[in-house]
Structure 1
Amino acid sequence: MNSTEEESELKKLKDLEKSVELMTTKLEDVNKELLRIQKGFLNKSLQAETLIKLDKRIKTTMEQFMKILEQIDSM
């Protein structure tokens, strides 16, 4: 591998690291929302709708993690 290829791969890794950090932040936000629901801070009438939205956010985040893993695997 020459220097240019190494730099390119290193940049890809740094970009992936930033993506993982962003995904981690999203999951932490979901966790905070779940804790609020568990502690009763959200009106019961809104809980079901909020849980559906959180489920979608979790699934989207999981898909993004899978894409990141695929990118790492292809390196």
Structure 2
Amino acid sequence: MREFPVHTGDDIAFGTGLLDCGSTEGDRPVQYTLRLTLGLTKTPDGWRIVHEHSSEPTPFDVEGGRSNDAVGRASGDRAAALA
């Protein structure tokens, strides 16, 4: 996880950031980045996550001006399928 600022109110908060993931396709390692958003609420027992959303960012500027090849390839494949 990187760059995960959390914005809080009295009893509600949310945070957004980038989550680096990895897996394999066949024998080839694959790395990709997901955008993560968490919604939290304050309970008598402490903060609890009440909402989670993750998605692939578009292929632009995931890491300071460099595209994410895995995300770009997956996004391009989906775009071609929709065309």
TM-score (norm 1): 0.26
Q: Which has the higher strand share?
A: 2
Structure of greater Rg: 1
Of structures 1 and 2, the one with the larger relative CO (CA 8 A, separation 6+) is 1
TM-score calculated relative to the size of structure 2: 0.24
Q: Choose between structure 1 and 2: higher helix proportion.
A: 1
